[in-house]
Amino acid sequence: MRRLIASALLMFTALPALAEEVTTYTLDNGMDVVVIEDHRAPVVVHMVWYKIGSADEPVGASGVAHFLEHLLFKATDQLESGEFSATVAANGGSDNAFTSHDYTAYFQRIAADRLPLMMEMESNRMNNLMVTEADIETERNVILEERNQRVENSPGALAREQFTAAQYQNHRYGVPIIGWKHEMEELSLQDALDFYDLYYSPNNAILIVAGDVQPDEVKALAEQYYGVIPAEENLPERLRPQEPPQRAERRITYVDPRVSQPYLTRSYIAPERDSGVQKEAAALVYLADLLGGSPFTSALGQALQFDTQTAVYSGAGYDGSNLDKGTFSVSVAPSDGVSLSEAEAAMDAVIADFIAAPIDPAQLESLRTQFRASEIYAKDDVQGLARRYGAALTQGLTIQDVQDWPQALQSVTEADIKAVATKVLNRDQAVTGWVVSSQEEAR
């Protein structure tokens, strides 16, 4: 469905080295432009990413970034409410948008010769939205139903919200992207417009055009449609309250009768990819795979699902695609008859063993090969490539960082992985959550 919330738990995969097919430039008003060529099919993906997300929202207005994203499909001075999507559809295309902690993005996928029309409409709604009070009323109900569907009806999502709120006590990553329900209910037209007027500006935006296009033609069109929009002079610097040092493990038990399978997760604060500094992040990608990637070959999978029947599921994940601190997590769903305490103890034993024991060189080499292969497979999905550039550029990285990433992955050594494991897998900097259907299950 449209207007998705990008998952905060996106895992890393390798980024392809496509330097020769990527062209970038900056318009005079500060808007960055990225063109990714793929001439296999006459299709284009047109995206505008704003460097503004839920973690930039004012206190008390959680969800306004996502709410505004919905409202951008309403009327402007040139388009009637709904006309944007209707026009895209009438031209055989599809459109959508998504909001994350760090960005809000809009895109259309359409025949390449319709690119000027897309730019005309997208540039129009950057500055000329005309939302009414009636729109606010209806669309607020839509986002509340969206919250119902994604969160309130899902015990796993409710638990995750609690765990994330415990993880980030000072940083806005602790507040859900879709918003807290009681604050969503109070979101006003003014809340949305304040956000829109300040942050929807060319000098806070990135244009990405991917597909069957020529960079010079895209540049001319971008100048024509986006280049004429004045820069926002009062755009504030992107400063967010950061987390203080965490000094003790935080533990939560979430009880919900709708849970069928009890499970536990442990989420550690972890470094994110930073511009020019991606080595630790690359090592964490390996760590996630080695600890809990494939159930057949990872440490947790082998120990808990093969050597013993402790778990029906185990896994690990690293989310380093963030402007600020990310997380590294492990999770285990115990087998029938195994308690959560036993499962957690077994999980901790696997982690301790992993840190103490050498890494199998063949397994390391296999991962290196897989990351190299994923660069080749990624070339088949130009929209995926576009999203990687968009996410990176709105989260403090540069084109160069994106293009350096595959090599960063190839360069990771056993020592790098051991060092980052020792640093990150520290329970004093973690949230441990149990998800159960009853208190009796929490043992």
Partner 1 sequence: MLRYILIVCFTLVASVGHAVEIKQVTSQRGINAWVVEEPSIPFTALEIRMRGGASLDLPEKRGATNLMMALIEEGSGDMDARAFQTKLDALAASFSFRAYDDTMSISARFLSENREEVLALLRQALTKPRFDQDAIDRVRAQVLAGIASDAKSPNRIASSYFDKAAFGDHPYGTSIDGTIESVNSLTQQDMFDAARNTLTRNEIYVSAVGDITAQEIGDLLDDLLGDLPANGPDALPDVDFGLAGGLTVIPFDTPQSVALFGHKGIKRDDDDFFAAYILNSILGGAGFESRLMNEVREKRGLTYGIRSYLVPKFHAEMWIGQVASGNETIAEAIQVTRDVWSDLAANGVTQDELDSTKTYLTGEYPLRFDGNAEIADIMVGMQMIGLPPEYVTNRNDYVEAVTLDDVNRVAADLLHPDDLHFVVVGQPVGLE
As a whole number of angstroms, the distance between CA 263 and CA 246 comes to: 24
Site string for partner 1, 74-103 (x = CB under 8 A): -------xx--xx--xxxxxx---------
Among 7, 26, 132, 141, binds partner 1 (CB under 8 A): 141
As a whole number of angstroms, the distance between CA 280 and CA 367 comes to: 16
As a whole number of angstroms, the distance between CA 351 and CA 329 comes to: 12
Q: Which stretch binds partner 1 (CB under 8 A): 133-141, 213-221, 351-359, 420-428?
A: 133-141
Among 369, 400, 407, 438, binds partner 1 (CB under 8 A): 369
DSSP sequence for 335-398: PTT--HHHHHHHHHHHHHHHHHSPPPHHHHHHHHHHHHHHHHHHTT-HHHHHHHHHHHHHTT--
Is 26 a binder of partner 1 (CB under 8 A)?
Answer: no
Output Rg (C-alpha) for the chain, integer angstroms: 23
Minimum CB distance to partner 1 smaller for 372 or for 443: 372
What is the pairing mode between strands 430-436 and 263-270?
antiparallel
Structure tokens at 295: 């159930």
For residue 339, the tally of other CB atoms under 10 A from its CB is 13
Minimum CB distance to partner 1 smaller for 1 or for 239: 1
Structure tokens at 353: 């063993």
Structure tokens at 25: 């430039």
Task: Using the Cα atoms of residue 347, residue 353, residue 359 and residue 362 in order, give the sign of their dihedral.
Answer: negative
As a whole number of angstroms, the distance between CA 43 and CA 429 comes to: 46
Site string for partner 1, 256-295 (x = CB under 8 A): -xxxxx--------------------------------x-
Minimum CB distance to partner 1 smaller for 246 or for 374: 374
Minimum CB distance to partner 1 smaller for 205 or for 333: 333
Q: Which stretch binds partner 1 (CB under 8 A): 51-59, 188-196, 252-260, 396-404?
A: 252-260
Is 19 a binder of partner 1 (CB under 8 A)?
Answer: no
Active site residues: 69
Among 11, 17, 111, 193, binds partner 1 (CB under 8 A): 111
| Contact (Cβ atoms closer than 8 angstroms) between residue 384 and residue 211 | no
Among 7, 26, 132, 138, binds partner 1 (CB under 8 A): 138
Q: How far is the CB of 405 from partner 1 (least distance, A)?
A: 18
- In the block, which residue shows the tokens 């494939």? 294
Give the SS3 label for residue 51.
coil
Q: How far is the CB of 254 from partner 1 (least distance, A)?
A: 15
Q: How far is the CB of 203 from partner 1 (least distance, A)?
A: 30
Among 32, 102, 122, 146, binds partner 1 (CB under 8 A): 146
As a whole number of angstroms, the distance between CA 143 and CA 258 comes to: 23
Is 11 a binder of partner 1 (CB under 8 A)?
Answer: no
HSE of 238 in the Cβ direction (CA atoms, 13 Å)? Answer: 19
Q: How far is the CB of 366 from partner 1 (least distance, A)?
A: 5
Minimum CB distance to partner 1 smaller for 148 or for 170: 148
Is 313 a binder of partner 1 (CB under 8 A)?
Answer: yes
Residues near 380 by beta carbon (within 8 Å), at least 6 away in sequence: none
As a whole number of angstroms, the distance between CA 318 and CA 305 comes to: 21
As a whole number of angstroms, the distance between CA 58 and CA 362 comes to: 50
Is 411 a binder of partner 1 (CB under 8 A)?
Answer: no
Residues near 334 by beta carbon (within 8 Å), at least 6 away in sequence: 262, 263, 310, 311, 312, 340, 342, 343
For 60, left (φ over 0), alpha (ψ -120 to 50), or beta?
A: left
Q: How far is the CB of 306 from partner 1 (least distance, A)?
A: 6
Q: How far is the CB of 13 from partner 1 (least distance, A)?
A: 12
Q: How far is the CB of 134 from partner 1 (least distance, A)?
A: 10
Is 410 a binder of partner 1 (CB under 8 A)?
Answer: no
Is 140 a binder of partner 1 (CB under 8 A)?
Answer: yes
Is 153 a binder of partner 1 (CB under 8 A)?
Answer: yes
Is 152 a binder of partner 1 (CB under 8 A)?
Answer: yes
- The residue ranges that bind partner 1 (CB under 8 A) are 1-2, 40-43, 73, 81-82, 85-86, 89-94, 109-113, 137-146, 148-149, 152-153, 257-261, 294, 296-297, 302, 305-306, 309, 312-313, 333, 335-336, 362, 365-367, 369-370, 372-374, 376-377, 379-382
